[in-house]
Amino acid sequence: MKITNERVLLIVLKCDFSELGGYGISYILLEQPQLSKYVKDWDKLSGKNWVVLLEKHSEQFADICKWEKLNGSDWCNLLRTLPQFAQYCNDWSTLKGEDWVKLLISQPEFAKHCDWKKLNSACWRKLLAERPDQDFRRFKPKKR
């Protein structure tokens, strides 16, 4: 549903943002980011809500993003399309093996942050099959 200027006015006049949850807030801001000035409680947004907003309006929401809300899956999804936000990731350990595979397929430069012990044999097969051009084998643990 496209939100028109008339609809925006109705939302601002009738909608109490404090009554909305993170999904509702992010849904409105996706289409009308200028309404962010009416949001008082950014803590309501989940990591997934932040990723969705950043993917569409990165410049507007990067400075107010609650980066600590992002989990491993959120970081994976965000960095696959917007690798410039890696500087805000303070805990790479939140990424699971499957997250690392998805991220490294898209953005192999993040290999330096990867905890290679998290990748099981299925993860290794997928990673090596998808990115044979990369020298990921050097990180693979040797069999005993």
> Tell me, what's the pLDDT at 11?
58
Report which of 19, 54, 60 is spatially closest to residue 40, judged by C-alpha positions.
19
Domain ranges of the chain: 1-69, 70-144
Stretches in the chain below the pLDDT threshold 50: none
Confidence at residue 3, expressed as pLDDT on a 0 to 100 scale: 56
H-assigned helices in 32-120: 47-61, 72-81, 97-106
Model pLDDT, residue 135: 86
Cα 50 to Cα 13: distance, rounded to the nearest angstrom: 25
The pLDDT value given to residue 1: 53
Per-residue model confidence (pLDDT) at position 90:
94
Contact at 8 Å (CB) between 21 and 42?
no
CB 110 within 8 A of CB 104: yes
